Amino acid sequence: MKRVEPTYIRNIGTFGHGGEGKTSLVEAILFDVGENTRLGRVDDGSALMDFEPEEINRKISISASLSHFEWNKHQFHIIDTPGYANFIAEAKASMRVMDGAIVVVGGNSEVKVQTETVWGYANEFQVPRILYVSKMDTERANFLKVVGEAKKIFPSQPAVPIQLPIGGEGSFKGVVDLVQRKAYLYREDGSGQFEVKEIPPDMKEEVERLREKLVETVVEMDDQLMEKYLESGEVSTEEVVRCLRKGTLEGKLVPAVCGSSLRNIGIQPLLDLAISCFPSPLERGSVQGKNPKTGEPETREPKEEAPFSAFVFKTIADPFAGKLNLFRVYSGSVNADSTLYNSKKEVRERIGQIFLLEGKKQKPVGFASVGDIVAVAKLKETTTGDTFSDEKKPIVFDETKLPLPVISYALTPKSKGDEDKITASLARIHEEDPTMMLGRDEQTGEILLSGVGQTHVEVIVEKLKRKFGVEVNLSVPKVPYKETIRGSKTGVIYRHKKQTGGRGQFAEVHFDVSSLPRGGGFEFENALTGMNVPRNFVPAVEKGIAEAMQSGVLAGYPVVDVKVRFYDGKSHEVDSSEMAFKIASIMAFKKGVQEANPVLLEPIMKVVVTAPDENIGDVIGDLNSRRGRVLRVDAKGNYQMIEANVPMSEMLKYAPDLNSKTGGRGTFTMEFSHYEEVPAQLAEKVIAQAKKDKEKED
């Protein structure tokens, strides 16, 4: 790759809801610019950008994939991102390093939930966008209808049509450029070749009407030009282009174009628009970070002579090729066979070759400079979210906040002895997928795999088998119930006496057992006064109580929020021992708990659900049916945010239910809040089931 001035670099990505044609658009682009000799298709598994077996089998994008190409003397880095909710984190991580977003909506579709999500990401990172209405060759495709809906849903960044389709559905054959007043008529062979013609006579009136609306919109970007237009009614094509660019860069409007990726229509005008309306890395301006040592704000200008800085936004883990870290260079430059400084982890990393990615292929290059998006292999310490910088002038960029896992499954290996292999392999997968979480429930002992959705977890399990040869079973995790007491019991006495041949066992303990406030844990009070119990046996008593608390009297769950006051006892100078006092304390504790009104506790989760206004009644009703307690409801644009406390046992399969109630537009986060008493009728069922499970184990 020859060195390209940052002015001639465009970093773009395709974003939108799943199934709207993002990957097909990128495949058409790569074919038209000569990066591929055939038009790759998702349906037959020939797409360059969907190359993972899990993507080919499901016919969806799961990971963000990169390529690069040249067009009209400009160097493009392009990222194709997933649009399904389970994998939308890849879109957010990619949006972070983009300078322009092509938001794809099917012409036969509507603005769906993940399109709204990625639009929000573009707002968060202040990324200019173009609306590309795809699939104009399909039945019921309607360009202006989609544009109108986008304008209604995103009023602060109105979509402005700058093209009109020529023909429709099966007869779609080209586009009219409203700015240039030209028609692009395409061949029917899918070659992408076209002729520039006069506007069809039957379209002239509509073209002029929409062009006038376009001009009225864009002149608002320039006060002087608006005055000129109001006085004379005339503006030049160059002035329209300049204002269209200004409005796009400032996020005041979104140019809307159309095409058909499968028939290869409308691709080249889209690329020209990306050059004229999207910024270069220089125009995106300086980036903000902080000094890792002082915490003070730091700024980096997008200049080659500035101190080097880059952000690692993605990692690809492969058991054979090793690990690839993908990063965007924001300032300075770096050469192959040199050392990078990871300012977040404060370590030096030796790099060999620097690569440009072309789908799954890697193209070695000798350097990377401002605006470049490249990959390096086999770094030891670096992970997603890290920053590279000049060691003498360090800077750290904020990590991208990714969606939290919302669904968990318990994992068990199909082959005995694979447990360690599971942990090591999933740790590798976590490197490339930070939204996956792996943990172990200390109480139940289960290995828990958490993901953004059920499909997400299934894909992780498939990768585990394909990449690392580990097969696992998934099951609903056990709920970590606990036990406590409502009341108190004074004067609990237990005598342990056992006489065998030779030395016997003797110990007697006197306890007061009482409840603590919720969350109080365990409190042990040594209140001995006389010499009935030698003080060297007190640790054994406390140890015995701690052991007894691991298995409660109701269903064998751990006991919490209890205080034990050890105030008296008896001992024997020969037969008493630490073991005897430990056994006595275990039995006394169980006896005391049994007589102090024991109850079952369940974990309560803090749940925050975001759902469209029209679904809010159904969502709240559903939370109530799950024994939830709604704490507050706040408006958030066209959505409502509901905060509630809900028992964990009612939330284990909530994700698919919320999807079905909101048409996939609802999202939620969940975290542990506290423990509460289980209602009596439900407690009976839980206790009965726990006893059954124990019998099976025995």
| Exposed/middle/buried for residue 367 (C-beta within 10 Å: 0-12, 13-18, 19+) | middle
Residue 536 lies in a domain: yes
Where does 117-234 show beta strands of DSSP type E?
129-134, 159-161, 163-166, 174-177, 182-186, 194-197
H or E stretch including 3? none
Taking CA atoms, 564 is separated from 351, 413, 488, 534, 561, in Å, by 60, 41, 10, 18, 10
pLDDT of residue 612: 87
Structure tokens at 540: 């054994």
518: left (phi over 0), alpha (psi -120 to 50) or beta: beta
Instruction: Please tell me whether residues 160 and 65 are part of one structural domain.
Output: yes
Find the Cα–Cα–Cα–Cα dihedral 235, 209, 271, 40, rounded to 10°: -170
Residue with the two structure tokens 């769950």 = 557
Cβ proximity of 329 and 335 under 8 Å: no
Instruction: Please tell me whether residues 42 and 135 are part of one structural domain.
Output: yes
CATH of the domain at 432: 3.30.70.870
CATH of the domain at 52: 3.40.50.300
Structure tokens at 227: 């005055």
pLDDT of residue 668: 85
The angle at the Cα of 83, spanning 140 to 107, to the nearest 5 degrees, equals 15
Residue 244 lies in a domain: no
661-674 pLDDT, tens digit per residue, is 988 778 888 888 99
Strands 354-358 and 361-365, by their bridges, are antiparallel
Instruction: Please tell me whether residues 415 and 358 are part of one structural domain.
Output: no
pLDDT of residue 440: 86
pLDDT of residue 327: 97
Alpha-carbon distance of 165 to 172, in angstroms, equals 7
Alpha-carbon distance of 327 to 311, in angstroms, equals 5
Alpha-carbon distance of 16 to 679, in angstroms, equals 45
Cβ proximity of 552 and 483 under 8 Å: yes
Instruction: Please tell me whether residues 552 and 581 are part of one structural domain.
Output: yes
H or E stretch including 684? helix 680-697
Alpha-carbon distance of 346 to 211, in angstroms, equals 55
Radius of gyration of the chain, Cα coordinates, nearest whole angstrom:
32
Nearest to 70 by CA among 105, 42, 29: 29
H or E stretch including 668? strand 667-677
> 453: domain range?
407-475
Instruction: Please tell me whether residues 580 and 623 are part of one structural domain.
Output: no
Instruction: Please tell me whether residues 48 and 24 are part of one structural domain.
Output: yes
Residue 312 lies in a domain: yes
Q: What is the separation of C-alpha 115 from the centre of its chain, rounded to a whole number of angstroms?
A: 15
Instruction: Please tell me whether residues 607 and 536 are part of one structural domain.
Output: no
pLDDT of residue 1: 52
pLDDT of residue 168: 87
Residue 198 lies in a domain: no
The angle at the Cα of 172, spanning 168 to 174, to the nearest 5 degrees, equals 125
Centre a 10 Å sphere on the Cβ of residue 352 and count the other Cβ atoms it contains. 13
Alpha-carbon distance of 619 to 609, in angstroms, equals 8
Instruction: Please tell me whether residues 471 and 488 are part of one structural domain.
Output: no
Alpha-carbon distance of 596 to 489, in angstroms, equals 5
Mean pLDDT, 10 residues at a time, the chain of 698 residues: 80 94 95 89 83 86 93 95 91 97 94 90 96 96 96 94 93 95 94 94 94 93 88 88 95 97 96 97 94 93 95 85 90 94 96 91 91 94 95 95 86 83 87 90 86 88 90 90 95 89 86 93 93 94 95 93 96 91 96 96 92 92 96 85 94 87 83 92 90 78
Residue 194 lies in a domain: no
Residue 377 lies in a domain: yes
pLDDT of residue 665: 78
Alpha-carbon distance of 85 to 574, in angstroms, equals 70
Q: Cα-flanking dihedrals φ and ψ of residue 38, to 5°?
A: -140, 160
pTM of the complete model: 0.83
Residue 336 lies in a domain: yes
CATH of the domain at 333: 2.40.30.10
What is the count of structural domains for the chain?
Answer: 5
Residue with the two structure tokens 């919490």 = 560
Instruction: Please tell me whether residues 146 and 75 are part of one structural domain.
Output: yes
Alpha-carbon distance of 510 to 564, in angstroms, equals 10
CATH of the domain at 644: 3.30.70.240
385-435 pLDDT, tens digit per residue, is 999 999 999 999 999 998 888 888 999 888 877 788 888 888 888 888 999
CATH of the domain at 505: 3.30.230.10
Q: What is the separation of C-alpha 690 from the centre of its chain, rounded to a whole number of angstroms?
A: 35
The angle at the Cα of 334, spanning 330 to 340, to the nearest 5 degrees, equals 95
Cβ proximity of 81 and 63 under 8 Å: no
Instruction: Please tell me whether residues 496 and 543 are part of one structural domain.
Output: yes
Alpha-carbon distance of 70 to 166, in angstroms, equals 28
Instruction: Please tell me whether residues 45 and 136 are part of one structural domain.
Output: yes
Cβ proximity of 50 and 61 under 8 Å: yes
Residue 122 lies in a domain: yes
Domain boundary among 440, 455, 475: 475
DSSP assignment of 211-266 equals: HHHHHHHHGGG-HHHHHHHHHHS---HHHHHHHHHHHHHTTS-EEEEE-BTTTTBS
- Does residue 350 sit in helix, strand or coil? strand
Instruction: Please tell me whether residues 525 and 581 are part of one structural domain.
Output: yes
Nearest to 460 by CA among 496, 492, 428: 428
DSSP assignment of 56-108 equals: HHHTS--S-EEEEEEETTEEEEEEE---SGGGHHHHHHHHTT-SEEEEEEETT
- Does residue 403 sit in helix, strand or coil? coil
